[in-house]
Structures are given as structure tokens and as C-alpha cells.
Chains A and B, each alone.
Chain A
Amino acid sequence: MTARAISEVIITNEVGLHARPSVKFTKLAKTFPCTVEFATSEEGPWIDAKSIVKVMGAKAPKGTRLLLRAQGEQSTTAIAELIALVERGFDEGGGHGEPR
């Protein structure tokens, strides 16, 4: 079995997993060799985090709980970095998603 990582995060930026955030999210996911998937509930469906069509298709607004899992090489780093991106509000500026 290869390495497996799983974690979750809440989307806090105003528009959710919208166009620009999705571009950033998939671009980052693609930098890792492992598979990366996400879901909005434990029952799935699990969605390929490297496909912008599928990521946008999830239409996840602000407040969505995002479950993330990765399998393979660098899976822990992949999950950590993706979660950090969501927590930073996708670097859209203005401090959205900063815990207060």
C-alpha cells in the first residue's frame, strides 16, 4: 500500500470554489504525483481535485465542508498544502479565512 492522507477544511472565502480559486486549487493539486480527491460528504462522490471541470462542477459555495484525500507519493504534503490554500482564502486577499 502506498501512503494515504485524509483531512478536511471549511471554505471561508466569499464566493467559494469559484473560477479563480478553482484554477489555483487544481494547479496546486497537479504539482503532486499522488492522486488527490475531494468530497463534500463522507459518502462521496469523490471528485478528482486535478480536474477543473469537476472541481467547478461541485459548485461548492462559502461554508462548504471539504473532505480531502490523497494516495501515493507526497500525499501528506499534497493534503497539507491544499488545506493551507483553502484556509488562506485562495490568496484572494483581504484576510478572508483568517481565523479570528
Chain B
Amino acid sequence: MASPGRIFGQAASAGFAHGPVHLARRQGRAYVAKSTPERELQALQLAVEAAAGEIASAMSQLSGDAADILEFHLAMLEDGSFSATAAEAIGAGATAYDAWKAALDAEIESYQASGDAYFKARSADLSDIRDTVLSVLTGDTAHAIRPGAIHVDEDIAPSRFLAHDWSKGGGLALRKGSVTSHVAMLARARGVPMIVGIGDSAIEDAAEALLDAQSGELLVSPYPAQIADFNDRRTASQAQQREADALAPHPAITRDGESVQVLVNIADPGDVDRISVDHVDGIGLMRTEFLFGGDRGLPDEEMQLAAYRKVLDWAGGKPVTIRTIDAGGDKPIEGYTIAEDNSFLGVRGIRLSLAKPEIFRVQIRALLRAAPHGSLKVMLPMVSVPGEIDAARAMFAKEAADLASADVIHQMPEIGIMVEVPSVAITPARFAAAAFFSIGSNDLTQYVLAASRDNARLSALGSADDPAVLSLIANVASFGKARAIETSLCGDAASDPEMIGLLLGTGLRRFSVAPARVAVIKAAVRLWSGEGSVK
């Protein structure tokens, strides 16, 4: 019996999990060549069938866009064309592994060479299809996470996170990863416990483990006493959560009687299915990168319209703030973003949208058409000079005129901005053309402290409670109040009950938080008073 191993990481999504370790073996597994071409061919056929089965079973748990994409993967796999090309190569002496890889690589290359962004983006699907079959061929288990397991991996792609059924428990312990990555956001939204940056410690596959993503530790092969202690902590935390949950439907009012708006951040239209609309004051941030990102490719106008309408219908008249695509930085999108050395300071957010008007205008049209269906606000990310608001407004006006001349129902939404670049936070008056301000504390912090937020070695530097960051937040909040420009904060700081007091102290009264944190944040607001909060 192994002695317990205590491994520390950074808490990325709070929660507890007790289960077997599932170790991803991505590298180091070589394909073992078979003795004859016939056996190679057979191995390939079996692998394609197994991969198809895997996709079919993942598909049965999904609906909407995610299911459509998997249906497409399945159809591509079952088509037989790739197998036929690979079979020819096997006949000429190649292994099943090399033959399949070569067949798909050639196809991927032809997609990447396409001038059409929509087709170019599909190369990500083909990579996924290629890797699924290759991992079956090498016996690599990285693709199948057992339900309830604590998955240990270098990092994990959002699409894989979404494809897994987390309702049976389990969690994530990533060797690298980042608390601000998209997967971390998804994990927080769904309440899946996750820690990151656990490093290269040796961890035994299938060992019993306790994941405490509150304090950020993974305990492998624990003693019974440690399990009992873990269960106590989990029970206490759950009781606290239950207490907060009971009050979740009620408004958040400070001890001074001031009302505070608590909205939610979502990343995927499907997220609203898990949120009770009565508990929140609206959607403060709907990210749209996931509509674009990963294996979904670039979405067309109808697909976007359907996604926006779903959320507006759910909100039933409460405000819904949709952020235009915020790609670049740590959120690359195949076929869209530009590879850069210093991507956080590069062509990202609104800069990229304005540089690629042919893609931006599709999103603008979908937003204009969605607007009549609720209280829509559109938010521009990464604005750093006032001219960017004007340029975006002009594009909205042009598309609105086009829709009007084609008799398509539409409406001009309010257009506001994210405040995440210091230039805006220092001189907000220059940006008063914005209908609202939403402070993105994660990016604002990294830019103010010059500490890249995806660099684990700098994690001690990048905190929103830094006095310089708080002073900028207060500057924006007081300007917004004086000029009656609605000002809110949608960064991770708003989801942290320890930070809420400081943020209320800056004058902010509107926050957008991770769905799983609504109850806790409301509870923290109720304890706060301008005279000093009670602990």
C-alpha cells in the first residue's frame, strides 16, 4: 500500500471530489506494428469502429450544437473514404497508425489551405477525428474519462470537458492549466472541482484520491483518518452552500439597505438550462468564443441568432449582455486568430473583430436580429481607444441599414464596453460614448501589474486586490456614478466572497459572477456594511 501523497496546486473551481485517479497517458505510447498488412487493416477497422462508438455514446448525452458537431464527426468517420485511402497505404506497407495519420493529415492540410474561413476552421474537426482513432490504435486512454474519476492531465480541451458527464462527480487536477483558462471558467460555471498547476509529481493511476479544490490540494492514497477529515470539511462546506442556496432567490441587500445587482457570466447558451432565472438579475456576460472556438468552427448567422435568442428567451426581459467575440490572447481560434509572440498585447478582442470585418459582420447581424427578443446589450472587449467604439458603432449602423432594406426584423441594442485596458480605466471620460462599462478585472490586473495571467510562476503578482487595480476600479465606478453610466464588474474577483467587500468599497453595486457562486456572493453582500462588514 502506497503512503499518502499530498500534492498542492492552485484552486481553479471550488468543490470536493473523492474517487479513483484517472491518469491521462497522452504521450509515450507507441503504436506496435502488426505482423501482416491484413492485421494492420483489421486493427484500423476495429479502431475506427471503436472511435465511432465513443462518439455515438458522447452524442447521446448532448443536444443542440454540440450534438450536431459530434454527428458530423461520426458521419465523417463512418464515411469510409479515409479508411479507403489508409487501406491503400497499408497495402503498400504502411502501419495502420501511419496510414490513418497520413490520410487525415493530407485532408487537414487541404482544409487549412482553403481561402474560406468557415472551411479553414473545420481542420480542427479533422484533427479531433484523427486523434480519436490514433489514440484507440495506441491503446491510449486519454479519450475516455471514467465517470466519477479525478482526471489528472497536462491540460484539457474545452470540447473534452464538455463531452464528459460530470453529473456522476469527479474532478480535475491539471499539471499545467490556468485558473483563468476557458476550462476553468466552464468548471466554475458547472461546479466541477478543479485545481491547476500541480506539476510533475508521480501519481499512480487508479489510486484512491481526495480532491479538495477549496484549498487546492490532491491527496493520493489517503489514510482513513484523512478521509474522515475530508468528509467533515466537505459536509461543512455543503452546509454553508445550502444555507446560502436557501436565500439565493432573495435580492442581495447590504446591511445598510443598499440593493446590489447580482448577474451571471455564461460561456455557452446551454449554461442557462442549469440556472434559475429567479435567482439572478440577468446575464452580465455571455461569452461568444465557444460558439466560434474549438471543434465547432466558425458559426453562421442563423446558428448565432439561435444561440442568442435561447438566452434572451430564458431571461424573460431581464438584461442580457452579450460580448462580441473576444478571441486572441489565451483564446486562439483556428482559422480566425493570428499567431503572435506576445498575444496578450496583440490583435485580440475588438482589434481582431475590426481587422476581420467579414466575420464580425455575421455576428453583428445575428445580434441585431436577436435584439427585439429581449433586453439585449452588446459589449465590446479590449477597447483601448475611443475610436474603436465609433468603428464598431458604424458597422452596427451599416448592418442595421442593410437589414432594414431587406425588411428583416431587427433592433439596435445598447453598445457598451469592457474596461480591461488601463487606458480606459485611467481616463474613462474619453469613453463616455459607451452605454455601459463592465470591468474585466482579470485582464485589467494583468495589464496593470504587467504579469501575464497564464504564467503560473507569476500567480502571486496577479491579484485584483492590488491597491493600483482597486484604485482604477474606484475611478471607473465613481465616473460611472457621476455620469449615470451603468458600471459593473464581471471578472473572477466578483465571484470571490473575500473580494466582494473590497469591490463594494470601490462603489460598485453591480456584479456578474459564475453561476455556481450566485448564492455565496449574495450571502457575502448581505454581511457587508459601509461601516465595516461582519465576519
A-to-B contact residues, CB < 8 Å: 13-16, 18-20, 22-23, 26-27, 51-54, 56-57, 59, 61, 92-94, 96
Complexed CA–CA distance, A88 and B196 (Å): 48
Interface-located stretch among B112-120, B223-231, B444-452, B505-513? B112-120
Complexed CA–CA distance, A26 and B78 (Å): 12
Residue of B nearest to A92 (CB): B302
Complexed CA–CA distance, A96 and B79 (Å): 28
Select one of A15, A19, A59 contacting B72, CB under 8 A.
A19
Complexed CA–CA distance, A15 and B303 (Å): 11
Complexed CA–CA distance, A51 and B84 (Å): 12
Interface residue ranges of B180-229 to A (CB < 8 Å):
none
Select one of A20, A54, A59, A92 contacting B114, CB under 8 A.
A59
Q: How near does chain A come to B280, taking the closest CB pair, in angstroms?
A: 29
Instruction: Tell me whether B300 and A14 are in contact (CB under 8 A).
Output: yes
Instruction: Tell me whether B297 and A94 are in contact (CB under 8 A).
Output: no
Select one of A16, A18, A27, A53 contacting B82, CB under 8 A.
A53
Complexed CA–CA distance, A16 and B122 (Å): 13
Interface residue B362 (Cβ < 8 Å from any Cβ of A): yes
Instruction: Tell me whether B118 and A51 are in contact (CB under 8 A).
Output: no
Complexed CA–CA distance, A59 and B300 (Å): 15
Instruction: Tell me whether B107 and A52 are in contact (CB under 8 A).
Output: no
Interface residue B306 (Cβ < 8 Å from any Cβ of A): yes
Select one of B116, B122, B302 contacting A96, CB under 8 A.
B302
Instruction: Tell me whether A19 and B69 are in contact (CB under 8 A).
Output: yes
Residue of A nearest to B78 (CB): A52
Given contacts A18-B297, A20-B72, 4 further A-B contacts (CB under 8 A): A18-B122, A19-B125, A53-B82, A59-B111
Instruction: Tell me whether A14 and B302 are in contact (CB under 8 A).
Output: yes
Select one of B76, B118, B306 contacting A16, CB under 8 A.
B118
Given A16-B116, A18-B118, A19-B297; A56-B302 close (CB under 8 Å): no
Given A20-B68, A94-B305; A61-B110 close (CB under 8 Å): no
- Chain B residues contacting A54 (CB-CB under 8 Å) are 81
Given A14-B362, A16-B118; A52-B76 close (CB under 8 Å): yes
Interface residue B75 (Cβ < 8 Å from any Cβ of A): yes
Q: How near does chain A come to B370, taking the closest CB pair, in angstroms?
A: 12
- Chain A residues contacting B79 (CB-CB under 8 Å) are 51-53
Residue of B nearest to A26 (CB): B75
Complexed CA–CA distance, A59 and B302 (Å): 20
- Chain A residues contacting B305 (CB-CB under 8 Å) are 93-94
Select one of A15, A27, A51 contacting B300, CB under 8 A.
A15
Q: How near does chain A come to B300, taking the closest CB pair, in angstroms?
A: 4
- Chain B residues contacting A15 (CB-CB under 8 Å) are 118, 298, 300
Interface residue B268 (Cβ < 8 Å from any Cβ of A): no
Nearest 10 pairs between A and B by C-beta?
A: A53-B81, A15-B300, A14-B300, A19-B72, A53-B79, A52-B75, A59-B119, A94-B302, A15-B118, A92-B302
Q: How near does chain B come to A62, taking the closest CB pair, in angstroms?
A: 9
- Chain A residues contacting B155 (CB-CB under 8 Å) are none
Instruction: Tell me whether B119 and A18 are in contact (CB under 8 A).
Output: yes
Q: What are 9 of the A-B contact pairs (CB < 8 Å)?
A: A14-B300, A15-B300, A16-B118, A23-B72, A51-B80, A52-B72, A57-B110, A61-B118, A94-B305
Given A51-B80, A53-B81, A53-B82; A61-B116 close (CB under 8 Å): yes
- Chain B residues contacting A23 (CB-CB under 8 Å) are 68, 71-72, 75
Instruction: Tell me whether A93 and B75 are in contact (CB under 8 A).
Output: no
Instruction: Tell me whether B81 and A51 are in contact (CB under 8 A).
Output: yes
- Chain A residues contacting B154 (CB-CB under 8 Å) are none
Select one of B107, B301, B302 contacting A57, CB under 8 A.
B107
Given A22-B72, A26-B75, A93-B302; A59-B116 close (CB under 8 Å): yes
Complexed CA–CA distance, A93 and B69 (Å): 18
- Chain A residues contacting B111 (CB-CB under 8 Å) are 59
Instruction: Tell me whether B300 and A18 are in contact (CB under 8 A).
Output: yes
Complexed CA–CA distance, A46 and B279 (Å): 57
Interface residue ranges of B297-318 to A (CB < 8 Å):
297-298, 300-303, 305-306
